[in-house]
Amino acid sequence: MKYLFPAALLFALAALTGCYHEVAKPLADDQVMCTMEAKLCPDGSAVGRVGPHCEFAPCPGK
């Protein structure tokens, strides 16, 4: 029982360290993050933003 707290603390520290390294990764030079907006097309479907300039994808059939 006396080893439970140090073991839990060590586990939590390891988990937080691993999460930090996953979140703190910088983007590569060719990666772009676009907003999660959607455009409704005339046929009722929706398209999102894509590409290096975050423009809306073309609607299906165009």
Instruction: Kindly report, residue by residue over 14-60, the tens digit of the pLDDT.
Output: 887 776 665 556 666 777 888 899 999 999 999 999 988 999 999 99
Q: Is the pLDDT of residue 8 over 70?
A: yes
C-alpha 26/C-alpha 16 separation (Å) is 18
Identify the pLDDT of residue 30: 74
pTM of the prediction? 0.49
Q: Is residue 61 included in any domain, yes or no?
A: no
Q: Is residue 62 included in any domain, yes or no?
A: no
Check if the beta carbon of residue 20 is closer than 8 Å to that of residue 9. Answer: no
Q: Is residue 15 included in any domain, yes or no?
A: yes
Check if the beta carbon of residue 59 is closer than 8 Å to that of residue 42. Answer: yes
C-alpha 3/C-alpha 31 separation (Å) is 45
Check if the beta carbon of residue 50 is closer than 8 Å to that of residue 38. Answer: no
Q: Is residue 48 included in any domain, yes or no?
A: yes
Q: Domain of 23?
A: 4-56
Number of domains in the chain: 1
The total number of residues shown for the chain amounts to 62
Q: Is the pLDDT of residue 1 over 80?
A: no
Identify the pLDDT of residue 55: 94
